[in-house]
Chains A and B, each alone.
Chain A
């Protein structure tokens, strides 16, 4: 059954954006080229938050991506970049990527927070606002 993985990362300092962006693009590109990937997407949210979502044929292949470079090295820098870093995964019958509001519901209901040196209060409570996205009329 397909596995969906959602991440929400918020930069602790907007000045880190360029550095973070380079890593984020590398991670998304790697995911899209990895065995077992069924799709990936990213969303730049308000308040310096970035979302990603990816779909995988099976958990083993998703884990292989997580444990390989450059993703593994990038993960080690999340503490440098973020004051909020939350992840959630679930299995679903459809291989299609969920929309961002569905991703938000899963993340706030059952997400796991990373252990950060400078966490915000919301990092543990998952009290995150729904992602701001453009209306479908122009998407």
Chain B
């Protein structure tokens, strides 16, 4: 699961807007839930999805990016769309190196 750490406080909506802008119209970025349950879903196709949720770590925002889907397809998405989403977050927010 790619993790990206960004200096400062980033809201879910800011992240959604940045991702949609950088990923373009081939991807659909939607927000879900609220409070501690809030997360983003990034969808390229029915089988290619990723979820992003945010944690606060002091003055930093930590993005956790999971592949979506069931079992094997989820594992595959960890390598595909989840990595792309994490790289896009890094680029958008000038993140620390991903772990």
A21 in contact with B75 (CB, 8 Å): yes
Which residues of chain A are within 8 angstroms of B68 by Cβ–Cβ distance?
A: 138
Binding stretch for chain B, among A39-47, A80-88, A117-125:
A39-47
Which residues of chain A are within 8 angstroms of B38 by Cβ–Cβ distance?
A: 135, 137
B67 in contact with A44 (CB, 8 Å): yes
Q: Main SS of the interface on chain B? A: mixed
> Does B39 reach chain A (CB closer than 8 Å)?
yes
Which residues of chain B are within 8 angstroms of A137 by Cβ–Cβ distance?
A: 32-33, 37-39
> Does B48 reach chain A (CB closer than 8 Å)?
no
Which residues of chain A are within 8 angstroms of B99 by Cβ–Cβ distance?
A: 46-48
B66 to chain A, nearest CB (A): 5
A40 in contact with B71 (CB, 8 Å): yes
> A28-B72, A29-B72, A134-B53 given as contacts; is B78 within 8 A of A44 (CB)?
yes
What's the A-B contact tally at a CB cutoff of 8 Å? 62
Residue of A nearest to B64 (CB): A132
Report the interface size for chain B: residues with CB under 8 A from the other chain: 24
> Does B36 reach chain A (CB closer than 8 Å)?
yes
> Does A136 reach chain B (CB closer than 8 Å)?
yes
A138 in contact with B75 (CB, 8 Å): no
Which residues of chain B are within 8 angstroms of A138 by Cβ–Cβ distance?
A: 32-33, 39-41, 51, 53, 68
Residue of A nearest to B33 (CB): A137
> Does A74 reach chain B (CB closer than 8 Å)?
no
> A132-B64, A134-B51, A135-B37 given as contacts; is B32 within 8 A of A41 (CB)?
no
B39 in contact with A134 (CB, 8 Å): yes
Residue of A nearest to B78 (CB): A44
Assuming A25-B72, A47-B99, what are 13 further A-B pairs, CB within 8 angstroms? A21-B79, A44-B1, A48-B99, A132-B1, A132-B3, A132-B64, A134-B39, A134-B64, A135-B32, A135-B38, A136-B37, A137-B37, A137-B39
